[in-house]
Structure 1
Amino acid sequence: MTMSATAGRAQAAPMSREEKRVILASSLGTVFEWYDFYLYGSLAAVIGAQFFSAYPEATRNIFALLAFAAGFLVRPFGALVFGRLGDMVGRKYTFLITILIMGLSTFFVGLLPSYETIGVLAPITLLALRMLQGLALGGEYGGAAVYVAEHAPSGRRGFYTSFIQTTATLGLLLSLIVIMFTQIYVNANYPEVITATGAKLTPFAAWGWRIPFLVSVVLLGISVWIRLQMQESPAFKKMKEDGTQSKAPLSEAFGQWRNAKIALLALLGLVAGQAVVWYTGQFYALFFLQSILKVDSFTANVLIAWSLVLGTGGFIVFGALSDRIGRKPIILAGCLLAALTYFPLFKWLTATANPALYEAQQKTQVVVVTDPSQCSFQFNPTGTAKFTSPCDIAKSSLARLAVTYTVEEAPAGSPTVVRVGSTNVAAYDATKLSADEAKTVPGAFTKSLGDALTAAGYPPANNPSVVKIAIDPKAGLSNFAKMFDIFTAQRLTLILILTILVVYVTMVYGPIAAALVELFPTRIRYTSMSLPYHIGNGWFGGLLPATSFAMVAQTGDIYFGLWYPIVVALGTVIIGAIFVPETKDRDIFTYKGN
């Protein structure tokens, strides 16, 4: 194919085998980047014990989650840095830089000595590496989408860019599989490790967690080789030959209202809704299963993995369909369907995964009697805030136990009491505990609350009704056969529900790359599309778990947190329908902007 002034016309012809190979290769490299990024999130608790061991367990987990959040928070800055580079230097070389930064950062996490070895330098270095991962990912997605779209033939951009859309899901799936494989193998074949403090650790928690990070260097080598074979985008080459490159892509993209307003509309009218539907369908569903419905980690991961396997093809289907009927109808329909069905789907999820819990929520009345002035809205996106009043402690404890409760206002200065049926359990004030009391009072409160709930009908920790795929740690890798132990009515129903959620994800995410690429002219395309994408997904989506939990704790309704994605998705439907143009027939080689 001629990479010259005729490039725009040549795009009408079908893609050659070589071009298909290059586009598939770029998608494969992006899978590896997402794999690297999600490894940390999946292993945050284990990493916290290694690099924040100077602190109590609750505090070290907070710091580990803060480092995880840092990767999301810096993604928009990576979009600005690498977007500018991609519009000035080229797509191919920016691609190469992002994969090197991501791959090396991930590999060095696997090599990084623990806190016990190098002290405070360990968590500082970990945070720096995590921020580098976020910066690299901020530049990766926009580059992948732009590169593929600018190689795709006319009328097929939705189909070809949809392969890029599968990469986040496949990267997540790959990271889960590698972690499960490593954990099962290491714990079955190596002895426990005794730490310097005398604590016993499984071999995976002690050192095996490093293996998935170190393995990433192999993926890095493959990705670098792939990207060295790539040719520069024909649209960028034509722009460079014509001398029409932007000398200041940041100021042109965001300093001029005619371009900045398109970025704002892309954020609010497309990406924000896409982001919350994406995070609800994959991450919040997993969180809901594990933290609220008390499904064990292995079982939850298997159920989610099957839903991803069954639903991932939807990215391609809806990407291709968007070439026929448009990007907007599919994205906005996905947002609308999600908003209308989240409540019944998540209630169905609860009733199926943990029937005893669902029944108790319907029948058992739990009331927090408190002075409202003691209560906070427990929004804690970085994990650093502390909620220590009796009201906050009572509400957060009930929320973590998935208890549905109401709040009854008490006179000012009254103590906070949790009323379970006819039993009252007094909450405590964490700020007024002595050092000795701090060791005993929280545990006693948790036990008393648990006993009262069990007596009133809430299921105990060993609840037999909760879905479970049992494994034998001593059986090693043969436990992988358990991933196919799904043929019961309960498990298949759960996979169906989760697959529906994933289908919504594929509707909003499959066409989004093509839609964003087509909104902006070539000279500022990389910069312009990357920022709204990463603000939407890094902030709107990344803040979803913290926001939803705060809403649940505030209201006592385990489903109330769903209002966050529902409201954002509906806002996107309204703004997108009114203000965002349809772009499927736009010629991205000749489009100069508004």
Structure 2
Amino acid sequence: MATTYDDGQPKQHAATQNEKLVIAASSLGTVFEWYDFYLYGLLATYISAQFFSGVNETTGFIFALAAFAAGFAVRPFGALVFGRIGDLVGRKNTFLVTMGIMGLSTFAVGLLPSYASIGVAAPIILLIMRLAQGLALGGEYGGAATYVAEHAPEGKRGLYTSWIQTTATFGLFAALLVVIGFRFALGEEAFAAWGWRLPFLISILLLGVSMWIRLQLNESPVFQKMKDEGKTSKAPLTEAFGQWGNLRWVIIALLGAVAGQAVVWYAGQFYALFFLEKTLKVDGATANILIAIALALATPFFVFFGWLSDKIGRKPIILGGCALAAITYFPLFGALTHAANPALAAAQASAPITVVANSKECSFQFDPVGKNKFDTSSCDIAKTYLAKASASYDNVEAPAGSAAIVKIGAVSFTAPDPATLAGDDKKAAITAFQDDLKAGLATAGYPAKADTAQINKVAVVAILWALAMLVTMVYGPIAAMLVELFPSRIRYTSMSLPYHIGNGWFGGFLPTTAFAMVAATGDIYYGLWYPVVVAALTVVVGLLFLPETFRRNIED
């Protein structure tokens, strides 16, 4: 006789109507949470103008960095707080709370007075709302993945949880569509003045719908069984992280699966978009459309790889995706340059740029919000212009005290020495140098922006699709693996922390870290070493220590 659940269903069976509702409700709620989380990034330009305009440069720089990073930085803490609650009181009620926090904090941003109205309190409150969003997301994912997995029949956990894995992409789509729709309907002037608030405000409607849907659901059968038998954990944090037997698996999950998955995800979606816009100078609308097409084509493969992991295992698919990423990122991004901006690729080949300067006189060229002024040395003046022009260059060491020289092919340009100039003379010398360098770049064929007519759109979509396919490989099965890796009594807590350290820190800070690496070296591809090294590390650790989990009984 087949083993059955308490509801009479055999452990291996076709999806019931209730299970379909569980998947739909959990996925829809998570889509809305990702929608809320992504709005800040999509509307950052308008938010900055509203909340940071009156702050002095130093304070504005700190607030801008803090607000950007806050949502990612606190996700592991949200995992600890809500993971513990989920293992103590249940999966369903916990992610109802996280959804409420996310929705209300997002709605509050839409109502928040600007800096002009309430002064420095505006960016402080904004930062608090961003922290609340990060905490809520830290608790949401683990709850949704655990809840769906604990409803899934044996042999279908990868398939069922893969629907949760599509939600980040669908949330991004939803946010893009809403923002584009309001901008088109209101016009740019009205949208910049007040219309940017509307995408935040309508989140209250999404919150109401998703809360109502999730209230129709019952508690997870696995948790309910533990509760009925009195086997729930009394101290989830202590059991999960205070005992080496489980902490060991948390570390292995992080380094042997999630860290690689995270950098592949953020490199394939977010850094690829950044690279198109900022480095290859493709206009924002075109870049968004191209990556949206690629993501739309790749999204069904989240479900495919989740299904496949039920057949052949989670480990080979996740580690295989990480290995392919480590091997192919440099050629894929190189091909992206040729396809998206062929004039730039041709200029780099025919007239490579070299900066001859003393490295000790060069500042670290990292200025994410445009507040720093690099004008204290000739090296800084030269590299600052090249960084703003997204021009890739090699570095050659020069004697101390010598002026920096920029070589574009066989033509040289000497940067002014600010130590010998002051006031208007200094400003005029820098302007003259920049004008000469701009003309030199143009003469050598370096384009000011990508020519839309010259973009090989089919090739760009194909490359972006290949990057997104790697995302689906590593991300599709990860939820099922994490659920299966930990015992049910501390599952919510145990799986949430490595997931959010991986995706909040390893992945969330990838664009900023990669940009800093590019700025430091002048090589537009140098930032790729970050995801390549982390993905390779995950392959090694995963092969040595990560167990296969797809046939495990998750009721223990």
Q: TM-score band, normalised by the shorter chain?
A: over 0.9
Find the partner of 1:341 among 322, 328, 339: 328
Distance 1:5 1:177 in 2: 41
Contact 1:103-1:220 within 8 A present in 2 as well: yes
Relative to 1, partners in 2 of residues 1:11 and 1:275: Cα closer, same or farther, differing over 3 Å?
same
Find the partner of 2:191 among 187, 204, 213: 204
Contact 1:86-1:143 within 8 A present in 2 as well: yes
Structure 1, residues 22-44: CA drift from partner, whole Å, max 9, x if none? Answer: 22111000000000000001111
Find the partner of 2:543 among 566, 574, 577: 577
Find the partner of 2:312 among 320, 325, 333: 325
Q: Which residue of 2 is the match for residue 16 of structure 1?
A: 16
Distance 2:125 2:15 in 1: 45
Q: Which residue of 1 is the match for residue 180 of structure 2?
A: 180
Structure 1, residues 517-576: CA drift from partner, whole Å, max 9, x if none? Answer: 000001110000101001111111112112212222233221121111111111111110
Contact 2:82-2:493 within 8 A present in 1 as well: yes
Relative to 1, partners in 2 of residues 1:59 and 1:39: Cα closer, same or farther, differing over 3 Å?
same
Find the partner of 2:444 among 456, 463, 467: 456
Summarize the alignment of residues 42-57 of structure 1 with structure 2, pairs less than 5 Å apart.
Answer: 42-55=42-55
Relative to 1, partners in 2 of residues 1:136 and 1:311: Cα closer, same or farther, differing over 3 Å?
same
Find the partner of 1:561 among 518, 521, 527: 527
Q: Which residue of 1 is the match for residue 231 of structure 2?
A: 244
What displacement does 1:89 show? 0.9
TM-score, normalising length from structure 1?
A: 0.88
Q: Which residue of 2 is the match for residue 503 of structure 1?
A: 469
Relative to 1, partners in 2 of residues 1:262 and 1:414: Cα closer, same or farther, differing over 3 Å?
same
Q: Which residue of 1 is the match for residue 397 of structure 2?
A: 409
Q: Which residue of 2 is the match for residue 523 of structure 1?
A: 489
Structure 1, residues 301-337: CA drift from partner, whole Å, max 9, x if none? Answer: 1011111111000000000000000000000111111
Q: Which residue of 2 is the match for residue 164 of structure 1?
A: 164
Summarize the alignment of residues 216-295 of structure 1 with structure 2, pairs less than 5 Å apart.
Answer: 216-295=203-282
Q: Secondary structure at the match of 1:368?
A: strand
Q: Which residue of 2 is the match for residue 541 of structure 1?
A: 507
Q: Which residue of 2 is the match for residue 588 of structure 1?
A: 554
Letter in 1 for 2:129: L
Q: Which residue of 2 is the match for residue 125 of structure 1?
A: 125
Find the partner of 2:357 among 341, 361, 370: 370
Find the partner of 2:415 among 423, 426, 435: 426
Distance 1:493 1:368 in 2: 32
**Which piece of structure 1 moves more, 202-211 or 331-340?**
202-211
Relative to 1, partners in 2 of residues 1:212 and 1:58: Cα closer, same or farther, differing over 3 Å?
farther
What displacement does 1:265 show? 0.4
Count of aligned pairs between the two proteins: 551
Contact 2:280-2:449 within 8 A present in 1 as well: no
Distance 2:382 2:58 in 1: 17
What displacement does 1:493 show? 1.7
Distance 1:306 1:348 in 2: 18
What displacement does 1:462 show? 7.4
Relative to 1, partners in 2 of residues 1:460 and 1:226: Cα closer, same or farther, differing over 3 Å?
same
Q: Which residue of 2 is the match for residue 477 of structure 1?
A: none
Distance 1:165 1:584 in 2: 17
Letter in 1 for 2:109: V
Relative to 1, partners in 2 of residues 1:300 and 1:437: Cα closer, same or farther, differing over 3 Å?
farther
Q: Which residue of 2 is the match for residue 199 of structure 1?
A: none
Q: Secondary structure at the match of 1:282?
A: helix
Contact 2:375-2:381 within 8 A present in 1 as well: yes
Relative to 1, partners in 2 of residues 1:157 and 1:434: Cα closer, same or farther, differing over 3 Å?
farther
Compute the RMSD of aligned alpha carbons.
2.5
Relative to 1, partners in 2 of residues 1:18 and 1:386: Cα closer, same or farther, differing over 3 Å?
farther
Unaligned runs of 5+ in 1: 189-201, 468-489
Structure 1, residues 102-153: CA drift from partner, whole Å, max 9, x if none? Answer: 0011111011111111111110100000000000000011011100000000
Contact 1:102-1:132 within 8 A present in 2 as well: yes
Structure 1, residues 424-447: CA drift from partner, whole Å, max 9, x if none? Answer: 141666x99978689777655544
Q: Secondary structure at the match of 2:187?
A: helix
Letter in 1 for 2:267: T
Contact 1:425-1:448 within 8 A present in 2 as well: no
Contact 1:49-1:60 within 8 A present in 2 as well: no
Contact 1:71-1:135 within 8 A present in 2 as well: yes
Summarize the alignment of residues 362-401 of structure 1 with structure 2, pairs less than 5 Å apart.
Answer: 362-378=349-365, 389-390=376-377, 391-401=379-389
TM-score, normalising length from structure 2?
A: 0.93
1:82 aligns with 2:79: no
Distance 2:473 2:83 in 1: 26
Q: Which residue of 2 is the match for residue 492 of structure 1?
A: 458
Distance 1:59 1:407 in 2: 33
Q: Secondary structure at the match of 2:47?
A: helix
What displacement does 1:18 show? 1.6
Distance 1:111 1:428 in 2: 49
Q: Which residue of 1 is the match for residue 154 of structure 2?
A: 154
Relative to 1, partners in 2 of residues 1:223 and 1:435: Cα closer, same or farther, differing over 3 Å?
farther
Contact 2:55-2:120 within 8 A present in 1 as well: no
Structure 1, residues 373-426: CA drift from partner, whole Å, max 9, x if none? Answer: 123455678999876653345335323423221112111122333233423141
Q: Secondary structure at the match of 2:194?
A: helix
Relative to 1, partners in 2 of residues 1:10 and 1:388: Cα closer, same or farther, differing over 3 Å?
farther
Contact 2:341-2:450 within 8 A present in 1 as well: no
Contact 2:394-2:521 within 8 A present in 1 as well: yes
Distance 2:341 2:333 in 1: 12
Contact 1:155-1:323 within 8 A present in 2 as well: yes
1:354 aligns with 2:333: no
Distance 1:320 1:26 in 2: 18
Q: Secondary structure at the match of 1:209?
A: helix
**Which piece of structure 1 moves more, 420-429 or 68-77?**
420-429
Unaligned runs of 5+ in 2: none
Distance 2:331 2:457 in 1: 18
Letter in 2 for 1:417: I
**Which piece of structure 1 moves more, 560-569 or 265-274?**
560-569
What displacement does 1:369 show? 1.7
Q: Which residue of 2 is the match for residue 28 of structure 1?
A: 28
